[in-house]
Structure 1
Amino acid sequence: MDKLIHVSTEEDIFPEYRETPIGLLLEYHNLHRSFDSYSKAQLLIGMCMDNRKSLRIPDNFAYIIRSGGGNLRYSEFKVSYAIAIGGVKAIALLGHNNCGMVNLYSKKEKFIEGLVETAGWNKEFAEEHYMNFAPMYEIGNEIDFVLSEAVRLRSRYPKILVAPLFYNIEDNEFYLIKE
């Protein structure tokens, strides 16, 4: 957690993010900046599907892709669309604490039982489903994953500003991550 920098003033925002859509995101969410009006998205936000998180941003400010762990590996066409058609020039990646995609292997039995009991699947099919997809969605450590995903996206989209951020579900605040 020593890599995390809480944003409680404009000066806390890293210089490379100031006066960019990333800086605005931090100002809207953490600093309660008054909303500006937007007719088109300024950035893409990649974040977890976790229901404990909500964003304080103006309408039309951002495309948002929610996926387990904020993993955009399997949403790359959507990322490309937001850039090519939507014209966004920045991506905010939001990892968060207590993510369900961390240590998926410890949840195997509960996952399988849940599909059998709740969805009506047979056990063998539920187990096969888990074994096929869990390795794709396991993210390991939340901070390490969002940092590695930022590196991957920067390589893929070299002209796009990519910011790895951390969402603390206890205080509903964003934190910058020292790389």
Structure 2
Amino acid sequence: MDNSLLIKVTDVKDIFEQYINTPIEQLIKYHNLGYPFDNYNKAQLLVGMCMDNRKQLNIPNNFSYILRTGGGNLRYNEFKISYAIALGEVKAIALIGHNNCGMVNLMSKKDRFVKGLVENAGWEEKQAEEHFMSFAPMFEIENEIEFLLSESKRLREKYRNMLIVPLFYNLDDNLLYQIKEN
């Protein structure tokens, strides 16, 4: 993982200029800087983030739609994204990944995954293995930052008029980091 691309935000001056006066700026102010919550009647943005239980955003009620998926992978969620844009009228999408993601090198976790389904869900071993092999290739990510950048690019091509921003949640300090893009 290339940490040199990550920009920590501990002051409003750290927020990238292109995010000023957008819901991304508000998200960072709420989460990282502890700004007091405004009241919202409707969502301002869509957050796509990992389902990992170690992350919790500090944001006001009604501020955001949130889609939580393994690795923050929004493939196969396009209808939900389109709904938030078309009917929810969100102005931006924040795609949030994090360090130590369980979807990184997922194939190495196959035996534990299969064993867990057998012991916890009562599955047959063959059924659990087939399930893993059917879905793991779709959800495995190689590198958290590279995935965020490629997924942001993919979504920008599909939703050309939307502000789509990759952000990184650092589990070590629970802050959102901006990612320098080329």
Q: Aligned-pair distance for 1:58?
A: 0.5
Could you tell me which of 71, 77, 95 is aligned with 2:97? 95
Distance in structure 1 (CA, Å) of the matches to 2:152 and 2:91: 14
CA-atom RMSD in angstroms? 0.5
- Equivalent position SS for 1:30: helix
Aligned counterpart, 1:60 = 62
Count, aligned residues: 179
Distance in structure 2 (CA, Å) of the matches to 1:145 and 1:108: 21
The runs of at least 4 consecutive aligned structure 1 residues that moved more than 3 Å come to none
The answer to whether the Cα contact below 8 Å between 1:46 and 1:66 also exists between their aligned partners in 2 is yes
Deviations 1:1-36 (A, max 9, x none): 000000011111100001100010000000111100
Percent identical pairs in the alignment equals: 65
Counterpart residue identity of residue 68, structure 1? G
Counterpart residue identity of residue 17, structure 1? Y
Aligned counterpart, 2:179 = 177
Distance in structure 1 (CA, Å) of the matches to 2:91 and 2:137: 31
Counterpart residue identity of residue 137, structure 2? P
Counterpart residue identity of residue 50, structure 2? C
Gaps of 5+ in 1: none
Is 1:153 matched up with 2:148? no
Q: Aligned-pair distance for 1:96?
A: 0.1
Deviations 1:75-119 (A, max 9, x none): 111000000000012000001000000000110000001101111
- Equivalent position SS for 1:56: coil
1:21-170 equivalences under 5 Å are 21-170=23-172
What TM-score do the two structures reach when normalised by structure 1?
Answer: 0.99
Could you tell me which of 7, 10, 15 is aligned with 2:9? 7
Distance in structure 1 (CA, Å) of the matches to 2:144 and 2:9: 19
Deviations 1:21-73 (A, max 9, x none): 00100000001111001000000000000000001000100000000000001
The answer to whether the Cα contact below 8 Å between 1:164 and 1:176 also exists between their aligned partners in 2 is yes
Distance in structure 2 (CA, Å) of the matches to 1:163 and 1:9: 19
- Equivalent position SS for 1:74: coil
Gaps of 5+ in 2: none
Q: Aligned-pair distance for 1:126?
A: 0.4
Counterpart residue identity of residue 170, structure 1? D
The answer to whether the Cα contact below 8 Å between 1:89 and 1:159 also exists between their aligned partners in 2 is no
